[in-house]
């Protein structure tokens, strides 16, 4: 079973959300997978209540604040997300880190908030192009992972990990299956050291970065790639269905 997750980012209002689920036609092979959609928070309630949404599709939010409430204009708490129908939260997405300046410390606080409210954190890690060119891939992604693992210590809840090389997000560039396998192997080894083998194998590692129907099967076939985090291609119901089917073959 693969995890197929779609991050809609700042796209898909209420009408588009309804249209997406009305048009989404998942074939039988997609049923073998865990399916997630992360709509913008304004469309979460619409997606949760949409009668056309396949019951196999779980919903999440793209970000939360670590506080349960307060004077934080524009933010959403973990409790609010759960009440609105979310089961998962993207934490530390590259755009949160590199556009909004989110730090490892803030990522850790958000992970703790997820665990406190029964939400599943999908923790994102990944290097920039300059970091990759400097040969610092392992240093960067393991540093990000270690900060997350520290926040998860003592919490027995489930979490997912997503490797998303920043240079391959929204650029049309895609890591090769070997690139993905190498990074995922590094992350898997650290998970095994931190959690033990039995616990580590239950933690899916997704690849995210310009995933499309044309490359999904190859990426999903790479070693230690347990699923994909899809950006632009998840906005189109036909493309998302094709990627979901690729994960079930």
Distance CA 204, CA 35 (A): 13
pLDDT tens digit sequence for 171-218:
777 789 999 999 999 999 999 999 887 788 789 999 998 899 999 999
Q: Is 65 a catalytic residue?
A: no
Global pTM? Answer: 0.95
Catalytic residue among 106, 164, 184, 242: 164
For residue 65, give the nearest of 136, 134, 105, 113 by alpha carbon. 113
106-141 per-position pLDDT tens digit: 999 999 999 999 999 999 999 998 999 999 999 999
CATH architecture of 3-246: Alpha-Beta Barrel (3.20)
139 annotated active-site = no
Q: By the 8 A CB rule, do 184 and 205 touch?
A: yes
List 65, 88, 93, 184, catalytic entry: 93
Classify residue 111 as exposed, middle or buried by CB count within 10 Å of its CB (0-12, 13-18, 19+).
buried
Domain map (residue ranges) of the chain: 3-246
3-class secondary structure, 95: helix
């Amino acid at each position: 079973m693969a995890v197929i997750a779609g991050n809609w980012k700042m796209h898909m209002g209420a009408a588009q959300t309804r249209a997406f689920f009305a048009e989404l036609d998942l074939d039988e092979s997609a049923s073998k997978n865990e399916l997630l959609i992360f709509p913008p928070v304004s469309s979460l309630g619409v997606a949760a209540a949409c009668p056309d949404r396949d019951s196999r599709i779980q919903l999440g939010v793209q970000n939360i604040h670590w506080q349960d409430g307060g004077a934080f204009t524009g933010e959403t708490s973990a409790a609010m997300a759960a009440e609105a129908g979310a089961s998962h939260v993207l934490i530390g997405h590259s755009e949160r880190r590199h556009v909004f300046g989110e730090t490892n410390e803030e990522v850790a606080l958000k992970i703790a908030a997820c665990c406190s409210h029964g939400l599943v954190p999908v923790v994102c890690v990944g290097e920039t192009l300059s970091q990759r060119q400097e040969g610092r891939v392992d240093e960067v992604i393991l540093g990000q992972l270690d900060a997350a693992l520290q926040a998860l210590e003592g919490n027995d809840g489930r979490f997912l990990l997503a490797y998303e090389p920043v240079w391959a997000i929204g650029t049309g560039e895609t890591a090769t299956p070997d690139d993905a396998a190498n990074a995922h192997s590094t992350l898997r080894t650290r998970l095994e050291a931190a959690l033990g083998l039995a616990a580590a194998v239950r933690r899916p590692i997704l690849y995210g970065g310009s995933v499309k129907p044309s490359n999904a099967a190859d990426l999903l076939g790479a070693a230690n790639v347990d699923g994909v985090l899809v950006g632009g291609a998840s906005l189109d119901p036909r493309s998302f269905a094709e990627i979901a089917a690729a994960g079930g073959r």
